Amino acid sequence: MYNPSVSGGNASTEAGSRLFLYEVQGLRQSAETDNMANPIRKSGSVFIAVPYTRMNQEMQRITRMGGKIVSIRPMEDVGTVSNAEPTPITAPVVVSAEAATPAGTAPTQTTEKPMTQAAPKKAAASVPVNLYKPNSPYVGKVLSNEPLVREGGTGIVQHITFDLSEGNLHYVEGQSIGIIPDGTDDKGKPHKLRLYSIASTRHGDNMDDKTVSLCVRQLEYKHPESGETVYGTCSTFLCGIEPGADVKITGPVGKEMLLPDDPDATIIMLATGTGIAPFRAYLWRMFKDAERQANPDYQFKGLAWLIFGVPYTGNVLYKEELEQMQDQYADHFKLTYAISREQQNAEGGRMYIQHRVGEHAAELWELMQKPNTHTYMCGLKGMEDGIDEAMAAEASKHGVDWTEFRKQMKKDHRWHVETY
């Protein structure tokens, strides 16, 4: 059960005893603003070691002193650059007297010591990539093609499952596969492949390691010149395909959206429409009974939070699955909807995903301070700016530049985006 927050918690726990390195710029010191025993540089960066249990307090103190937090890194991640000579940090490293000194004792002066840059994390060697290529695709049969849009929803979205038993196509959660639709284009050439996020776990919906599933919306739009309705080639091919038909499949591809192995991680998922696909795979792996039995080494005990934006309640894809998992694992799974055509935001307009992020920005920000929090975004590209705006407003309350903070999360492999 997730209990401790960044601003509290038990310091005797493994997390509570950890130190984090704050890179801070623009600090000023005076008797009026703070009482800090350590010297402050007049320019450049200051590196401050902060215990986990005092992270929020230290942010507030830095803000009072006019500082801006450039990055936050776990101290154990501060090592040497892979295949390179150690690069010392020239600014001093100080242990915050306010944060690190027990109550009732006098702060002690710390000595400067050189630090080195964080080593980049290596990509997982076990992730399969390009087992089947466009010039030699795997041909799998359609096992099922089920509608996902319910009454009151709009558009066509299908859950399609393919048989993999005749080949060696395997994958992990967060990857994509390519589909090559039948037929030729207007120049008589075979259609090019389209990539789709996988909506099933590595074991497949049937838990037999022999299937892969997709969540596909039929693309439909008005031609800008003629005004006639145009349907997407591959999405229409897939949405109308019959069980038993053969489909050319490539891949798998992708390492951007992989789920961390840490069962205690916090996983924030921001989805619109069919962007739910990889998150369905994550949630099955975390919470489905059969998955938990099949994965004894991965028993999720952290916090998963899905914020899901759709136009109508009828467009909440996999609604029964999601709500059943929420009921069963209420201490570990939080589910928040943004239903644009049915709900209103605080200003009286439509409720989009960025408005939900804004409503919960303080809690999301606090979770993002944890070094094992991963944030994933999948769906329409248009949601990115609104989410950035909402989080930037919250970060500024703590004296942090959101853009720089997000960049650091990306470097730490904790910020994952797949939009279209």
Catalogue the active-site residues. Answer: 196-197, 378, 418, 420
Q: Is 174 left (phi over 0), alpha (psi -120 to 50) or beta?
A: left
CA distance 142 to 127: 25
- Kindly provide the b/e burial profile for residues 132-151, where b requires at least 16 CB atoms within 10 angstroms of the residue's own CB: beeeebbebebbebeebbee
Q: Are 131 and 169 in contact (CB under 8 A)?
A: yes
In three-state secondary structure terms, 359 is helix
* Alpha helix (H) residue ranges in 82-228: 97-100
List, in order, residues 6 or more apart from 330 with CB less than 8 Å away: none
How many H helices and E strands in the chain? 10, 17
Q: In what order do the strands lie in the sheet with 333-339?
A: 333-339, 303-310, 266-272, 373-379, 415-419
Nearest in space to 371 (alpha carbons), one of 87, 24, 95, 50: 50
Closest CA to 239 of 132, 156, 360: 156
How many whole angstroms separate alpha carbon 304 and alpha carbon 324? Answer: 14
| Number of alpha carbons in the 13 Å side-chain half-sphere of residue 283 | 29
